[in-house]
Amino acid sequence: MKITTETINYIAKLAKLKFTETEAEAFAHEFEGILDHFQNLDKEDLSFENVETYAEGKSILRKDELRTFENKEELFQNAKGMKETYLSIPKVIE
């Protein structure tokens, strides 16, 4: 797909950006490569049914299992900011 510098300048105007002619030409070339890549992807058959299995039909994901962890000190040995049995984290939102 051919992308012109006029197209790049139009997109830049929408985004309130300004490019030199050299930059616009470079972006046009890069966008052409990106769009060509997407056109190649459009040609591929991506209609497989189940993404959780591979060729042999076995699930590659393990089932969740509930386990108790007896040694809590070992579990939290690398945790910073422990207060008794709770994790204290810094305030994120003002």
Residue 53 covered by a domain: no
Q: What is the pLDDT of residues 24-80, one digit of tens each?
A: 999 999 999 999 999 998 888 777 665 555 556 666 778 889 888 888 788 888 888
Query: How many CA atoms are closer than 13 Å to the CA of 92, on its beta-carbon side?
Result: 2
Q: List the one residue out of 68, 87, 65, 67 whose CA is nearest residue 76.
A: 87
**In degrees rounded to 5, what are phi and psi of residue 73?**
-60, -45
Question: For residue 48, what pLDDT is reported?
Answer: 67
Asked if residue 28 belongs to a domain, the reply is yes
DSSP annotation of 8 = H
Mapping DSSP to helix (H, G, I), strand (E, B) and coil, where does residue 66 land?
coil
Check which CATH number belongs to the domain holding 23 and give it: 1.10.20
